[in-house]
Amino acid sequence: MFPSSEIYGGLANSWDFGPYGTELKNNLKQNWWKNFVHNREDMIGLDAAIIMNPKVWKASGHLKEFKDPLVECKKCHKRFRSDDIGKECPECKGELTEPRPFSGLMKTFLGPAEDKTAETYLRPETAQGIFVNFKNILDTTRQKLPFGIAQIGKAFRNEITPGNFIFRTREFEQMEIEYFFNPEKNKWEEKFNQWLEDFKKWMDEIGIDSKKLFFHNIEKEELAHYSKKTIDIEFDFPFGRKELFGLAYRTDFDLKSHKINYKDPETQDEFIPHVIEPSIGVDRMMLAIVLSAYTEEKVGDETRTVMKFKNDIAPVKIAVFPLLKNKPELVKKAKEIFNSLKLHWMCKFDDNGNIGKRYRRQDEIGTPYCVTVDFETLKDNSVTARNRDTMKQERIKIDKLKEYLGERLK
Ligand code: ATP
């Protein structure tokens, strides 16, 4: 991950994802989509626009409610969210102003005239795109309750205190689900608990360290304006225990606000469905994955840094090396293997430096397997396959290599 616009001095709290970061992020999003959309019959996907009609934000309550209390230090003029700090400036101990509401909505203008009529917002959450498309989805997919709509996309918030690397930024990505059900037929507690269980299982599958996870039931007085119950799933980050993502029972608040209801195709009853919402920040989840995977191990008198990513999440699955760069027969064979494996997995070819260094480089980006072509390969068509975590090497015939890796990278 790189600071955004770095050659121009950067832009505070804006980050770009480099080649491996992009692979990791894509893997995370694809894994979530596969788990929660493709693998289920009661889920479908959506991709709504970031800029929506401002009436959406009026109806949803964001224009009125989406505000944080802002205070300013009278001495150093730094600004803070008053619910984040105590009674004095955390930087210079100066006196603070009275809190005033500060809108988290990021404003922009559509078209050439920067006046009130052109005023609009970048969405602060992907959820509203789901609610306003509820009818379109019903009309085009024949989904029956209970069912859910999933969406992955960018969201923007004019945060007062962004920071802690990619934990809190003004531009970020969300993976959200709105799961609709008939409150007369389904108990919300059951649906809520089921989603919590599904997400616990999923976090284990993507390699989140369960010892660092905490489930914080939000007190009634602290609940967001739309929620009847919320559990914040928290993670022990190096800068403290903080929200990783949220699971909320949003009742019928949103569909009601948008005046949308549902007609049961069998009974013809009309009512407003209720909603459970698991809402995840992609970037925060990525940070938790990286922190869970980071390992330092003693190997002899050296320290090895290794990212123990789950196979499905690892940016690169297999690295292919010729033992020596200046032996054309080895390079040719290694290229052949690389070209055939890359059709199935994200692979990297590396012939630079000694083999031990190349293994370490792959350990540092968490590549589960390295395949090395050496002089024996030329004699018996076998290669070594090295496992990242055990560092054990096995001799495998080239014609069995794809099957060998396939079984292990499942
Ligand atoms: P916080 O209390 O940390 O501001 P929130 O309760 O306002 O978060 P939600 O509105 O529930 O957050 O958003 C759902 C999820 O989106 C969060 O749990 C988090 O993973 C992610 N998220 C929210 N704001 C940001 C941000 N500014 N930067 C990165 N991720 C964010």
Distance, in Å, from the CA atom of 169 to the CA atom of 224, rounded to the nearest integer, reads 20
pLDDT at position 84? 79
Whether 123 is in the pocket of ligand 1, judged by its Cβ within 6 Å, is: no
Mutation pick for ligand 1 pocket among 28, 243, 282 (CB with most ligand atoms within 8 Å)? 243
Q: What is the rounded average pLDDT for all residues in the chain? A: 96
User: Which atom of ligand 1 lies at the shortest distance from residue 282's CA?
Assistant: 20
* Antiparallel, parallel or unpaired: β 43-46 and 147-156: parallel
User: Which atom of ligand 1 lies at the shortest distance from residue 224's CA?
Assistant: 6
pLDDT at 142 over 90: no
Q: Whose C-alpha lies nearest to ligand 1, atom 20?
A: 281
> Which tens digit of pLDDT belongs to each residue from 80-114?
989 878 889 999 999 999 999 889 999 999 998 88
pLDDT at position 306? 98
pLDDT at position 194? 98
Q: Matching CATH topology for 19-49+129-291 and 316-408?
A: no
Name the residue with tokens 């033992």. Answer: 323
Q: How far is the CA of 281 from the centre of ligand 1 (A)?
A: 6
Whether 377 is in the pocket of ligand 1, judged by its Cβ within 6 Å, is: no
Whether residue 159 contacts residue 168, with contact meaning beta carbons closer than 8 Å, is answered with: yes
Which tokens in the block code for residue 172? 């970020």
Distance, in Å, from the CA atom of 255 to the CA atom of 269, rounded to the nearest integer, reads 16
Q: How far is the CA of 371 from the centre of ligand 1 (A)?
A: 41
pLDDT at 181 over 90: yes
User: Which atom of ligand 1 lies at the shortest distance from residue 230's CA?
Assistant: 11
> Which tens digit of pLDDT belongs to each residue from 336-360?
999 999 999 999 999 999 999 999 9
Whether 32 is in the pocket of ligand 1, judged by its Cβ within 6 Å, is: no
pLDDT category at 1 given cuts 50, 70, 90 is very high
Name the residue with tokens 């293994």. Answer: 359
Whether 13 is in the pocket of ligand 1, judged by its Cβ within 6 Å, is: no
Q: How far is the CA of 316 from the centre of ligand 1 (A)?
A: 29
Q: Whose C-alpha lies nearest to ligand 1, atom 18?
A: 245
Among 370, 410, 408, residue whose Cα is nearest residue 388: 370
> Which tens digit of pLDDT belongs to each residue from 363-397?
999 999 999 999 999 999 999 999 999 999 999 99
Query: Could you tell me which residues are beta bridge partners of residue 156?
Result: 171
Phi, psi of 53 (to 5 degrees): -60, 130
User: What is 316-408's CATH topology?
Assistant: Rossmann fold (3.40.50)
Mutation pick for ligand 1 pocket among 284, 285, 286 (CB with most ligand atoms within 8 Å)? 284
User: Which atom of ligand 1 lies at the shortest distance from residue 159's CA?
Assistant: 27
pLDDT category at 62 given cuts 50, 70, 90 is very high
Whether 168 is in the pocket of ligand 1, judged by its Cβ within 6 Å, is: yes
pLDDT at position 83? 85
Q: pLDDT over 70 for what percent of the chain? A: 100
Q: Which CATH number fits domain 19-49+129-291: 3.30.930.10, 3.40.50.1100, 3.10.180.10, 3.90.550.10?
A: 3.30.930.10
Q: What is the per-residue burial (b if ≥16 Cβ within 10 Å, else e) of 178-197?
A: bbbbbeeebebeebbeebbe
> Which tens digit of pLDDT belongs to each residue from 282-305?
999 999 999 999 999 999 999 999
Whether 286 is in the pocket of ligand 1, judged by its Cβ within 6 Å, is: no
pLDDT at position 207? 98
> Which tens digit of pLDDT belongs to each residue from 28-49?
999 999 999 999 999 999 999 9
User: Which atom of ligand 1 lies at the shortest distance from residue 167's CA?
Assistant: 29
Q: Whose C-alpha lies nearest to ligand 1, atom 13?
A: 279
Domain ranges across the chain? 19-49+129-291, 316-408
